[in-house]
Structure 1
Amino acid sequence: MKEQLLDLAKKRRSIYALGRNVSQSTDDIANLIKENIKWAPTPFNNQTTRAVILFGDKHEQLWDIVAKRLKSEVPTEEAYQKTLAKINGFKSAFGTVMFYTDTDVVHRFENDFALYADNFADWSEQAQGNAQFAVWTSLAENGLGANLQHYNPLIDDEVREAFGIPESWNLRAEMDFGSIEAPAGEKEFMDDANRFKVLK
Structure 2
Amino acid sequence: MANPHIDSLKQRRTQYALGKSLPLSQEAVTALVQDAVKHSPSSFNSQSSRAVILYGAQSLAFWDLVKDALRKVVPAENFAQTEQKIDSFAAGAGTILFYEDQDVVKSLQEKFALYADNFPVWSEQASGMAQLSVWTALANAGIGASLQHYNPLPDAAAAAKWDLPASWKLRAQMPFGSNEAPFGEKSFMDDAERFRVFS
Please tell me the TM-score bracket, short chain as reference. over 0.9
Other-structure match for 2:87: 88
User: Quick one: which amino acid aligns to residue 128 of structure 2?
Assistant: G
CA-to-aligned-CA distance 1:69-107 (integer Å, 9 cap, x gap):
101111232x10000000000000001000000000000
User: Quick one: which amino acid aligns to residue 144 of structure 2?
Assistant: G
Other-structure match for 1:194: 193
1:183 Cα offset (Å)? 2.1
Other-structure match for 1:133: 132
User: Quick one: which amino acid aligns to residue 19 of structure 2?
Assistant: G
Task: Name the CA distance, whole Å, in 2 between partners of 1:183 and 1:109.
Answer: 44
1:188 Cα offset (Å)? 1.5
Other-structure match for 1:69: 69
Other-structure match for 2:29: 29
Other-structure match for 1:120: 119
Task: Name the CA distance, whole Å, in 1 between partners of 2:161 and 2:79.
Answer: 23
Which has the larger displacement, 98-107 or 63-72? 63-72
Which has the larger displacement, 177-186 or 91-100? 177-186
Other-structure match for 2:178: 179
Which has the larger displacement, 37-46 or 3-12? 3-12
Contact 2:145 2:177 in 1 (8 A): yes
Task: Name the CA distance, whole Å, in 1 between partners of 2:178 and 2:88.
Answer: 12
Other-structure match for 1:104: 103
Consecutive unaligned residues in structure 1, runs of 5 or more: none
1:59 Cα offset (Å)? 0.6
Task: Name the CA distance, whole Å, in 2 between partners of 1:109 and 1:10.
Answer: 35
Other-structure match for 2:163: 164
Contact 2:23 2:142 in 1 (8 A): no
Other-structure match for 2:12: 12
Consecutive unaligned residues in structure 2, runs of 5 or more: none
The 4+ residue runs of structure 1 with deviation greater than 2 A are none
Contact 2:23 2:141 in 1 (8 A): no
Paired residues in the alignment total 199
CA-to-aligned-CA distance 1:132-179 (integer Å, 9 cap, x gap):
110000000000000000000011111111111110000000001000
Which has the larger displacement, 30-39 or 66-75? 66-75
Which has the larger displacement, 92-101 or 185-194? 185-194
What fraction of aligned residue pairs are identical, expressed as a percent? 49
User: Quick one: which amino acid aligns to residue 81 of structure 1?
Assistant: A
Structure 1 length normalisation: TM-score? 0.97
Corresponding residue SS for 1:149: coil
Which has the larger displacement, 150-159 or 185-194? 185-194
1:49 Cα offset (Å)? 0.2
Structure 2 length normalisation: TM-score? 0.98
Task: Name the CA distance, whole Å, in 2 between partners of 1:199 and 1:75.
Answer: 52
1:3 Cα offset (Å)? 1.4
1:23 Cα offset (Å)? 2.9
